[in-house]
């Protein structure tokens, strides 16, 4: 019997903000690079900086701009400056707003959903109907200043036996040491990392990026 080939999971490095760390990610052949436009984040880049990074990555990886509850003016500015291949929504956007953003911008949209318990999967079907991709992250703690997983992982077992939409991406507390286990447990085909490849908040580490990519590509 012929051996079954398991596709390597696709990789997104989010929160890139410098030429050298972007170049390190691109040289490793990552699939997406993420540019965060959210002033309260340590990974925030203004649109002038994001535009330069986006141009540098064009044709080498898909470019993602991360926005949090953007209004129409911010959306227009983001599309004009960054020319994103994908818009990542990381706020409290409801399914109707996600659909409206996709229509208004003409760009694919990925919606992040915070998970802590099985009940948090209830809205998944409604978002899957309007978004091009879903990103499953850890739910932000009640007292968190920032949306998203804040470097925390959720209990991956809540995804067991779930029929998740194609293209669903896993995030939340991933790093070079645990990403292979995460892939084995969830069987998802795409992963997103930010703080797990940093030496300090907002400071990406090329060596940790390389270790993460190697761990993903070595996972089976």
137 in catalytic set: yes
The model carries a pTM of: 0.93
pLDDT digits (tens, 9 = 90+) for 81-99: 999 999 999 999 999 999 9
> pLDDT tens digits for 22-67?
999 999 999 999 999 999 999 999 999 999 999 999 999 999 999 9
14, 19, 46, 132: the active-site residue: 14
Backbone angles phi, psi at 19, to 5 degrees: -60, -40
CATH superfamily, with its number, for domain 10-218: Aldolase class I (3.20.20.70)
Question: Could you read off the pLDDT of 164-210 as tens digits, one per residue?
Answer: 999 999 999 999 999 999 999 999 999 999 999 999 999 999 999 99
Query: Catalytic annotation on 20?
Result: no
pLDDT of residue 6: 54
Which of 137, 155, 163, 192 does the annotation list as catalytic? 137
End-to-end CA gap in the chain: 19
């Amino acid at each position: 019997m012929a051996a079954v080939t398991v596709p390597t999971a696709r990789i997104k490095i989010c929160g890139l903000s410098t030429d050298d760390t972007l170049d390190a990610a691109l040289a490793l052949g990552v699939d997406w690079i993420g540019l965060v436009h959210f002033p309260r984040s340590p990974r925030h880049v203004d649109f002038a900086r994001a535009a330069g990074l986006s141009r540098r990555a064009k044709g080498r990886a898909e470019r993602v701009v991360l926005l949090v509850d953007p209004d129409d003016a911010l959306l227009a500015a983001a599309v004009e400056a960054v020319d994103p291949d994908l818009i990542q929504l990381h706020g409290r956007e409801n399914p109707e707003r996600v659909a409206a953003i996709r229509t208004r911008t003409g760009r694919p949209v990925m919606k992040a959903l915070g998970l802590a318990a099985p009940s948090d999967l209830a809205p998944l079907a409604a978002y899957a109907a309007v978004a091009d991709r879903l990103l499953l992250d850890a739910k932000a703690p009640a007292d968190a200043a920032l949306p998203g997983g804040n470097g925390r992982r959720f209990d991956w077992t809540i995804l067991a036996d779930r029929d998740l939409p194609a293209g669903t991406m896993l995030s939340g507390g991933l790093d070079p040491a645990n990403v292979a286990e995460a892939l084995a447990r969830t069987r998802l085909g795409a992963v997103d990392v930010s703080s797990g490849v940093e030496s300090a908040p907002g400071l990406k580490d090329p060596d940790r990026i390389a270790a993460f990519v190697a761990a993903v590509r070595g996972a089976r």
